[in-house]
Amino acid sequence: MDAKLRIAVIGAGYWGPNLARNFRNSTDWDLVAICDIDQVRAQKLADSVGGVRAVSSLNDLLSSEDVDAVAIATPARSHHGITRAALNAGKHVMVEKPLADTGIRGRDMVRAAAERGLVLMTDHTYCYTPAVLKIRELIAEGALGEILFIDSVRINLGLIQPDVDVFWDLAPHDLSIVDFILPGGLRPLSVSANGADPLGSGKSCIGYLVLPLPNGAIAHVHVNWLSPTKIRQMIVGGTRRTLVWDDLNPQQRLSVYDRGVDLELQALDGAERKAATISYRLGDTWSPALPEREALGAMAVEFAESIREGRPPRTDGEAGLRVLSVLEAASVSLAANGAAVMMSVDRVPVGEF
């Protein structure tokens, strides 16, 4: 079990080179192949990471006995077909976000992996950054208290995607982070989405998601392709402390504020509550020290360890499904002019593909 696992990267476009580089540099993995329908593109990437073999046939790749796992970096519409073929060939799979283009296909992928005893991992890269790992740790140990709200902003002057709207392009990052840091994952009571297309592109370029959470908490996500400034920020407010994550500030990515309303003084009823004086807590601010390491490297380690230990990875197929269910509900809400779509524990239906 100490021997390196052997992996192939499928897709040599935008994200594939990042995966290939990290698997090539990993002490857990031996990168053996690059697969892309464009043989020239596959060969170019293969040469850039040390001359591994380049193939254009998925069937040829999956029939190879020197491949233990594959990492899929292709458009979401192709994830189901490639993943099912890889699982049928006995390969462990890591797949780029979102897990699939529909909940039905995503659920089938998760089911197929479980039936075969194989690992299916969702590439929620941000969850392996030192900052997000620290946020998860602070919430788990109760440093923030009970979570009251999460407010996330991901805006920039970005590329308008030809096949998806801004919700499906940018929001998976924020949703995967919220799913990762909340104990029990992201399980909103409902999803409301409002979008705008001021350019007339035929899809939402600006979007707002509102996600009521259990116990009265709420999450809000703002995504935007049209902002002249780039912001990557998340605020997590709790009963004890509030945390601010500024991903574009390498000197102080995380700040923890011991400030807020003293909720214990508000635990009154009726007239007593109305008569009570609101008390604000104004305490210290501190910034946790964070190591500097690439998230994809940590994700590669987690993928290998989950295979060797026979356990689900931290961002498993179920995590991918929870994010996917919110994206699907957002599309339904958007079509209904922002009407709230009620959610259940498992809202992904079973049916035809």
CATH 3.30.360.10 domain span(s) along the chain:
127-294+326-342
CA gap 125, 17 in Å, rounded? 14
CATH for the stretch 127-294+326-342:
3.30.360.10
User: Has residue 63 got a pLDDT over 60?
Assistant: yes
pLDDT at residue 348, rounded to an integer? 42
Q: And the tokens for 106?
A: 């995503």
Q: How would DSSP label each residue in 77-101?
A: GGHHHHHHHHHHTT-EEEEESSS-S
* pLDDT attached to residue 271: 54
- 69-98 pLDDT per residue, tens: 999 999 999 999 999 999 999 999 999 999
d(CA 232, CA 338): 24
Q: What residue spans in the chain does CATH classification 3.40.50.720 cover?
A: 5-125
Q: Which residue has the higher pLDDT, 173 or 51?
A: 173
5-125 maps to which CATH number?
Answer: 3.40.50.720
Contact (CB, 8 A) for 314 and 132: no
pLDDT one-digit tens code per residue, 260-289: 776 554 555 555 555 556 677 778 899 999
Q: Calculate what percentage of the chain has a pLDDT beyond 90.
A: 85
Amino acid at residue number 317 = G
Least confident of 83-92, 104-113, 135-144, 156-165: 156-165
d(CA 299, CA 324): 20
Cis peptide before 98 (omega within 30 of 0): yes
How much is the pLDDT for 351?
Answer: 38
What distance in Å separates the CA atoms of residue 75 and residue 96, rounded to the nearest whole number?
9
**331: helix, strand or coil:** helix
76/270 Cα distance (integer angstroms):
52
Q: What is the per-residue pLDDT for 284?
A: 87
